[in-house]
Structure 1
Amino acid sequence: MCVGESTRRSLRSILNQTGQEPYPQNPISVTNDSRTYLGIDLGTSGVRSVLISGTGEVLAEARTGLPETQDSGGMKTQKPDDWWNAVLDSLRQLVAQRTLTDVAGLCVDGTSGTTLLTDAENRPLTPALMYSDTRLPETARQLLEIVPQAANACSLSSALLKAWWLREHYAPAGDYYIQQQADWILSRLRGTPGISDWNNGLKLGYDVVNKTWPEWMQQMNWPVGALPEVFAPGTQVDTINTDMAAETGLPQDTQLHAGSTDGVAAFLASGASQHGDAMTSLGSTLILKLCSRHPVASPEHGVYSHRLDENRWLAGGASNTGGAVLKQLFKNDDLRSLSLDMHPDTDTGLNYYPLPAVGERFPINDPEKKPLMNPVPENPAIFLQGLFEGIARVEKTGYDLLEQLGADPVTSIRTTGGGAANITWTNIRERIVGRPMQEGLHDEAAYGMARLAAGLF
């Protein structure tokens, strides 16, 4: 029996409970030679799916929310069954818009570092620790006795740290598999675990330069098979499992491709692809990605590089500043209305470093860094503009740092995430960051995964 038998329900059985049909009575017709591609993005708060044509045209989109992350004494977890149910629901929404019978391939991305241990049938043996669970500094210090700092696998958000902690505290009997969020969904679709990609593998300790697991991994005494086989993003790794095809409504010949992380997926969604192309994600956090000929890394600054292919690397980092701190202080409607009362060409003079809590990862890697959001002016529009400016200065510092470390100079910046829609904030960023900005193709990471499945990058 596979994970959560209660969730192993077909789309038809789910919809039968509500009296709906799982497939439209008259789905949009498709020609025999037109194949489509599916991207699935698993985030912290929901699952998004995008269906595209072979040329990148968006044919259907869907969003499904996830239950709130559970926080028990700082231990932040989610239930993998909730991820799977959300995936099924998003596919049901797509089916209501358009048939999925012509899907040729799919890719999945997830939050980097969200980790669990499973058995050979994908049953979770531990909770799924979220990437945002950063309460394990002592475990990180223990890992540093084994793991080279340059391996980018000892940060408090790393998958390796969480896998180590889960093993030590849950002591699973017999064989087990280390899986991250995207890995687990791919395993469900394949019917068996054991596959990951360069981008998710990075923070599990995989050596993306030499494309192998490093020798120091042997000191950690993982059982045979615990570490996944790692493939380049977009590589065809399998065909969908027959049972999963029936459960999801996807064709039995649907090709499964190695996926990626949410940050890399957002980069691909933006349409950036050339050396010097950059992507800023203005979501709950601030993520920078810069396409470079060579990898750059600086653990003391929180800088690392994802490998796209043989000639392209994504140098970047993730700051704790971003939309999360704004939502602590303002409602969404206030963010929009107050933006209209700003003067984006005139600096407020406020020298803020906005953070939702103590601790920063990039471009300053300092777990003790405190937020700086004082003084607070009486005018809330000026206060919000000061926060926008502070986040923009972090963005500028990040790109300056990447260039100083040897990444290709930024030629243009595309923006994704919720903040991309705020024109006033964009004007402020253009003034402070000082690099050309252009509109991205799409702001959903799932679109990037669909493009990856279609080979459009």
Structure 2
Amino acid sequence: MYIGLDLGTSGLKAVLIDDAQTILAEATAPLEAVRPAPGWSEQAPATWLDAADAAMRELAAQRPLDGVRGIGLSGQMHGATLLDADDEVLRPCILWNDTRSAAEAAELDADPRFRALTGNIVFPGFTAPKLVWVARHEPEIFARVARVLLPKDYLRLWLTGEAVAEMSDAAGTSWLDVGRRDWSDDLLAATGMTRVQMPRLVEGSEVSGQVRDELASRWGLPKGVVVAGGGGDNAASAVGVGVVKAGDAFVSLGTSGVLFAASDAYQPDAGTAVHTFCHALPDMWHQMGVILAAADALNWFAGVAGAPAAQLTGDLRALQPPGRVLFLPYLGGERTPHNDAAIRGSFLHLDHATDRAALTRAVLEGVTHAFRDCYDALSATGTRIERLIAVGGGSKSDYWVKAIATSLNLPIELPADGDLGGAYGAARLGMMAATGAGVEIATVSKIARVIEPDTALTEYFAAAHARYRASYHVLKGLT
């Protein structure tokens, strides 16, 4: 048996699978981010350990874990977990959706070495600019930083005692030479850091350590359970749904939104604001467009409207042409294609006839248009998408998925196992590490059904997207 642990922003999910990759048990534990200032987002790393312990205990209550051979890790990317020389946490982790370091990111991005070596814009959410921010605003903490770990890798340190990162997550720090799959001493030095402060690197399917005896005994694991390198949340999700070869892609409607395409070559184009990262598998990369508020935008509107998000989307029936009302989902800035931390969301063209259903459609359409932005940016890099799978909580809305399929003019497949997220992919990586199996075990999950685009509405969505793009530039002039 094999376990996958996925450390998300709003919760930690654990799954247990057998040798046939059938899910035997699942558990979740909630987490919450705090926002102590506008644009800030933090979590206490101790809460991750409590969540992991609770989830593992729940798995053990459902099924004895004495046959477990491997564990894989997945998690939210980019977070800066700062440790001192005794591996004690120095401050709350600065999360992926924290934009306080926008000025520092712009300064690093102006240094041509960063785009040349990482293949990416230095975004405010990435790890390196956060350390520059800490050096400027919390110098007493920066002076004590002996180690920087990404969130799931802090969980690994607790599990194994080993300070290790893997390529897909490390690629989102702005310190990794993504083509060479190694830390860049030049980029580290440019931010006042050294290789000594970085964890050891492994591939996602390699062994990174073994579960400590104390934890093994607590959860009923045998001794010697290996922990795989794992993957960043999106790379692990890709392994989970079988997006492991060029031409395959998935669209994720989670808190943030991702259009992820696997690639067998390193082909960056930083100017498009497309992320080019290592995959969680050796000799593979991936490219993705990222929007910062997908389901998060719908959940925000649900709170304002005073109705559950599922009720708002459930009230919508057949897909309609986009209405005149536009929603720009930039509640906390945007990445692809704008790289704009300052921009904020907006409703446009409201009138007396605008009701709750029209606003709900506008929110779904706004996020859909943002995915079309990502699709166009990926296309500009030469990345091809031949097969598209939908994952994430928002994929439960057929209306939303059909809108995206229509906008992109691509059929979208829905996995039979539903929203497994990164946990299932992490379990597969744990299986690879424990057994030495190759990528062939990451076969595509069983597809329940396919949502086809409504070709009669494709032109309407294209026209609405053009208005959406023009509205960004109008809104930009007002911020």
Q: Compute the TM-score of the two structures, normalised by the length of structure 1.
A: 0.85
Give the alignment of 1:43-442 within 5 angstroms: 43-72=8-37, 74-144=39-109, 147-150=113-116, 151=118, 152=120, 154-168=122-136, 169=138, 170-171=140-141, 176-193=146-163, 195-204=164-173, 205-216=175-186, 217-223=188-194, 225-308=196-279, 309-330=281-302, 334-350=308-324, 352-357=326-331, 359-376=333-350, 377-407=353-383, 409-440=384-415, 441-442=417-418
Give the aligned partner of residue 428 of structure 2: 451
Which residue in the other structure is 1:27 paired with?
none
Q: After the TM superposition, which residues 25-44 of structure 1 pair with which residues of structure 2 at under 5 Å, given as runs?
A: 36-44=1-9
Answer whether contact 2:14 2:27 (CA < 8 A) is retained: yes
* Contact 2:263 2:287 (8 Å CA) reproduced: yes
Distance 1:446 1:232 in 2: 17
CA distance in 1 between partners of 2:121 and 2:151 (Å): 17
Cα shift at 1:322: 0.8
Q: Which residue type is aligned with residue 403 of structure 1?
A: S
Cα drift, residue 218 of structure 1: 3.4
Q: Which moved more, 1:142-151 or 1:231-240?
A: 142-151
Letter in structure 2 aligned against 1:402: L
Q: Distance in 1 between matches of 2:126 and 2:33?
A: 21
Structure 1 residues 81, 345: closer, same or farther in 2, change over 3 A? closer
8 Å Cα contact 1:360/1:366 also seen in 2: yes
Superposed CA RMSD = 2.3
Contact 1:188/1:244 (<8 A) preserved:
no
Closer, same or farther in 2 for the Cα pair 1:411/1:188, shift >3 Å? same
Q: 1:277 to 1:239 in 2, by over 3 A?
A: same
Residue in 2 aligned with 1:30? none
Provide, for residues 137-173 of structure 1, a one-character-per-residue CA deviation record: whole Å limited to 9, x for no partner: 2322443465523423721000112233334523455
Give per-residue Cα distances to partners, 1:195-244, cap 9 Å, x unaligned. 10101111221112112222413344435520111111121122222233
1:345, 1:336 → 2: CA distance? 16
Partner SS, residue 64 of structure 1: strand
Q: Does structure 2 retain, via aligned residues, the 8 Å contact 1:280–1:289?
A: yes
Counterpart CA distance in 1 for 2:80 and 2:325 is 37
**What is the alpha-carbon distance in structure 1 between the residues aligned to residue 24 and residue 31 of structure 2?**
24
- Cα distance change on mapping 1:244 and 1:366 into 2, 3 Å: same
How far residue 110 of structure 1 moved from its aligned partner, in angstroms, is 1.6
Secondary structure of the corresponding residue to residue 290 of structure 1? strand
* TM-score calculated relative to the size of structure 2: 0.81
For residue 5 of structure 1, what is the aligned residue in structure 2?
Answer: none
Shift of 1:38: 0.6
Query: How far has the Cα of 1:51 moved from its partner?
Result: 0.6
How much does 1:180 deviate? Answer: 0.9
Shift >6 Å, 4+ stretches: none
* Pairwise CA distance, 1:246: 2.7
Is the CA contact (8 Å cut-off) linking 2:121 and 2:273 kept in structure 1?
no
SS at the partner of 1:103? coil
Q: Distance in 1 between matches of 2:38 and 2:361?
A: 34
Distance 1:300 1:404, change over 3 A: closer
Change (3 A) 1:192 1:273: closer
- Partner amino acid for 1:374? L
Give the deviation of 1:116 after TM superposition. Answer: 1.6
With over 3 angstroms needed to count, the CA separation of the structure-2 counterparts of 1:344 and 1:388, relative to structure 1, is farther
Using the alignment, how far apart are the partners of 2:290 and 2:70 within structure 1?
Answer: 30
1:161 to 1:247, Cα distance in 2 relative to 1, 3 A: farther
Query: Residues of 1 paired with 2:284 and 2:154: CA distance?
Result: 27
Q: In percent, how many aligned pairs have the same letter?
A: 24
CA distance in 2, matches of 1:358, 1:120: 34
Give 1:340 deviation, angstroms. 4.3
Note the residue ranges of structure 2 that are not aligned, 5 or more in a row. 433-440, 443-479
Report how far residue 341 of structure 1 moved: 4.2
Deviations 1:245-292 (A, max 9, x none): 234432211001102111222222223223211111101111110112
TM-superposed CA distance for 1:447, in Å, is 1.1
